[in-house]
Amino acid sequence: MITNSIRPRGRPRNFDESEALNKATQIFWSKSYDGVAIDDLIAGMGVGRQSLYSVFGDKRTLFLRVLRAYAERKGAGAAKALFSPPALRDSIAGFLRHAVEVATEEGSVRGCLMVCVAPLVDDPEVRQFLKDAAAGGLALVERRFRDGISAGEIPSDFPVGTRARQVLDLARGLTMHAQLGAPRKALLKDAEEAADLVLLPRGANAPREV
């Protein structure tokens, strides 16, 4: 996917824009907005100070761009996890597993930029973006549940909204647990069990010979 063969006019850039953005993501992710100094970004992104400001704007603007790119990637992954598998249970489990995988990626920092870092950035635009993103995630899960109703996998009175909120809460909880250092393997198992919890209340734990 080479951008465009039309070369711009002046001196060519010494860095790849999207790669630099990925580096910036890692830096913000690991050091949490306030903890990041411009010099950290310059050193980590491989971009000169002037280039950084002229290409990405100031720190706040750069963070917003990082956040948007991150959200788009993560949202795409979540949607794929939700709508690829034919079985509803696999979709929900995949959604939760995806949250765990993002939060425990090897070589990267634990947690999630949107769940752990961005909420603390004291900026109305960031705040609004997070609200919208959360609403979007909720809508995705709700839609998947409705598809499940259409397919007859769950009854038509399945509490779509409530269960979707619970799925999101569980995903957030798993993410925070990952940030604290829980091992990936255990979290993936928790993700499966969370999916079962939300979808399979078929009396598995009903009292028996107590």
Pick one of 8, 10, 107, 181: the residue that binds a second copy (CB under 8 A): 181
> How far apart (Å, rounded) are the C-alpha atoms in residues 95 and 87?
12
* Shortest distance (Å) from residue 2 CB to DNA: 15
Contact pick of 116, 140, 141, 164 for a second copy (by CB under 8 A): 116
* DSSP codes joined into one string, 144-163: HHHHHHHTTSS-TT--HHHH
Q: Which long-range contacts (CB under 8 A, 24 or more apart) does 20-27 make?
A: 20/45, 20/46, 20/47, 20/56, 21/56, 21/65, 21/66, 21/69, 24/56, 24/62, 24/66, 25/66, 25/69, 25/70, 25/113, 26/108, 26/109
Between 60 and 127, whose beta carbon lies closer to a second copy? 127
> Looking at 27, 67, 170, 195, which residue binds a second copy (CB under 8 A)?
170
Figure out which of the listed residues 31, 59, 65, 184 binds a second copy, where binding follows CB under 8 A: 31
**Cα–Cα dist 22/25, whole Å:** 5
d(CA 54, CA 141): 39
Nearest to 112 by CA among 121, 99, 93: 99
Residue 18 or 54 having the CB closest to DNA: 54
Position among 3, 4, 5, 50 found at the interface with DNA (CB under 7 A)? 50
Which span (43-51, 95-103, 152-160, 176-184) binds DNA, by CB under 7 A? 43-51
- Which position among 32, 51, 59, 77 is part of the footprint of a second copy (CB under 8 A)? 32
Interaction residues for a second copy, span 75-94 (CB under 8 A): none
| Cβ-contact 144, 83 below 8 angstroms | yes
Task: State yes or no: residue 121 binds DNA (CB under 7 A).
Answer: no
Nearer to DNA, 14 or 205 (CB): 14
Please report whether residue 183 would count as binding a second copy according to CB under 8 A: no
Measured in degrees and rounded to the nearest 5, phi and psi for residue 67 equal -60, -45
Please report, as ranges, the residues that interact with DNA according to CB under 7 A.
Answer: 7-15, 36-39, 47-51, 53-55, 58-60
Please report, as ranges, the residues that interact with a second copy according to CB under 8 A.
Answer: 31-32, 34-35, 111, 115-117, 119-120, 122, 127, 130-131, 134, 152, 154-159, 162, 165-166, 168-174, 176-177, 179-181, 190, 193-194, 197-198, 200-210
